[in-house]
Amino acid sequence: MAERGHVQAGHHSLSSDTMSKTATWKSKSDVRGFFNEFPSSESKQEKYNWLETEMNRVENIDNLNALHEYFSQTGDEGLVGGPYANMDENNLARDVVHLALKKYNGTDWQNVMNDEKLTAEPKEESRQFAGATASLIHQVQPPHEKFVILLLAWMPMGKYPKISMGGVGVAHTHGQAACSFKFLKAVQDCGNTFYDITGTMSDGSGTKSAVPNYNTFTDAKIFDDGEKHTGSCYDPNYKPILVNPKMGRQYIESHQILGENVAYIQDELGAHSIDNLNTEEIAYSIHIYYPPYEAAWAFHQHHQNPAHGCERDHTQSCKARLDEDDHPAQGWKNCEHPHGGECRTTNMKAYLADAYKLKTSSMSQVADEGEDNMGTVTKAVGGDKTLEPDAECTPKSM
């Protein structure tokens, strides 16, 4: 059984006497040369065994284009992004992702995500919407149906109220997909909170659903095992419940999820939030979702904001992380029951639509955008739609 939302420390299975690390990946070409030797076996386990051995030769990945190419290759080989025949295949995909993510130590992300750009005065309407969880989101391009790389910014608590309130983030699931992530810089009092999830089926059949989530553009299921899983968005009888919304199960500081230390979460393991309780520094992180997911459960309270045109909903058993008298602006209250009573659309739905168009069009050569002689191509998508209130400003029935 997989660990319950964890941080996986970087390690090497072979000693330095046995395997010397010689390569630094700086481009897509470096990765393609590596995969020229990829085995033709039908066994995913044999493919992984080859990767685990050969990745010990790779010292660093210092370019997002190279990281994207690695996931493109492993996605095309069926190692990441599903459909998963069982949880063991999902966990194998996690291990494939971590082989590369722990080695990414580039600084090229700063070209698109940095304090100056994020806090600059907007020029007319050119600025991207800043959500209350991630203050800015960039997707690394081109889109691929098996994975997405997101660069995320997290504002400090209370310092930039016109951009984002910062503080505690929204507790959310991942549409039955897997999420591996790490911080790109350590910020004191910023980290990740894991939460337990239970659930209820209205017909009394348990806490999980056999109706899987899927890609609506390709009809590909995330799990193809016929088993019951946590996090279904397509079963009207299923509703998740967040356990201990105030403090969650475990909080881990950003310096512990940095460099070769990679964190992992999947709906069977619960939910999580990214929380920046620092009052001065912006935090940045990189997240790999495999596959991208169109919708997920979010557990934040309706936010009292004149722009939303509604008041807070007081029926969700929502809890503030910090004392409200001392910290009136501390981010989101998270709740036992999900926001709006249904799964919320994510920014990845449009990403998946673009991936489908690219895959089925004669212009697949666009996949070479951001080639070796170009900078990393990203797409700013602003805040996540899971944060948007319902139009009627009241939660749908549970």
HEC secondary structure over 60-88: EECCHHHHHHHHHHHHHCCCCCCCECCHH
Whole-number Å distance between alpha carbons of 382 and 75: 26
Kindly tell me the number of DSSP H helices and DSSP E strands found in the chain.
6, 18
Nearest one of 142, 140, 162 to 152, comparing CA atoms: 140
Is the pLDDT assigned to residue 44 strictly greater than 80? yes
The answer to the question of residue 264 being in a domain is: yes
Position 120 scores a pLDDT of: 80
* 279-334 confidence digits (pLDDT tens): 999 999 999 999 999 999 999 886 554 443 445 555 568 899 999 999 888 888 99
Average pLDDT estimate for 134-145: 85
Quickly count: other Cβ atoms within 10 Å of residue 369's Cβ: 12
The answer to the question of residue 55 being in a domain is: no
Position 362 scores a pLDDT of: 54
The answer to the question of residue 44 being in a domain is: no
> Which residues are CB-neighbours of 331 under 8 A, at least 6 positions away?
132, 157, 165, 166, 167, 168, 169, 275, 276, 277, 321
Number of domains the chain contains: 1
Whole-structure pTM value: 0.88
Distance of CA 339 to the CA centre of its chain: 19
Q: What percentage of the chain carries pLDDT values higher than 70?
A: 80
Please give the single-letter amino acid code of residue 8: Q
Position 63 scores a pLDDT of: 93
The answer to the question of residue 277 being in a domain is: yes
The answer to the question of residue 395 being in a domain is: no
Is the pLDDT assigned to residue 123 strictly greater than 70? no
The answer to the question of residue 105 being in a domain is: no
Across-strand partners of 144? 147
The average confidence (pLDDT) of the chain is 84
The answer to the question of residue 52 being in a domain is: no
Position 152 scores a pLDDT of: 92
Average pLDDT estimate for 11-18: 42
Q: What residue numbers bound the domain in which 188 lies?
A: 127-386
> Which residues are CB-neighbours of 387 under 8 A, at least 6 positions away?
131, 132, 133, 170, 298, 300, 344
Is the pLDDT assigned to residue 81 strictly greater than 70? yes
| Pairing of β 178-183 and β 148-154 | unpaired
Position 383 scores a pLDDT of: 52
The answer to the question of residue 290 being in a domain is: yes
Torsion, CA 68, CA 70, CA 72, CA 77, rounded to 10: -170
The answer to whether the peptide bond before residue 122 is cis (omega within 30 degrees of 0) is no
Q: What percentage of the chain carries pLDDT values higher than 90?
A: 64
Distances (CA, A) of 155 to 7, 223, 246: 23, 35, 20
**Tokens 């209370």 appear where?**
158
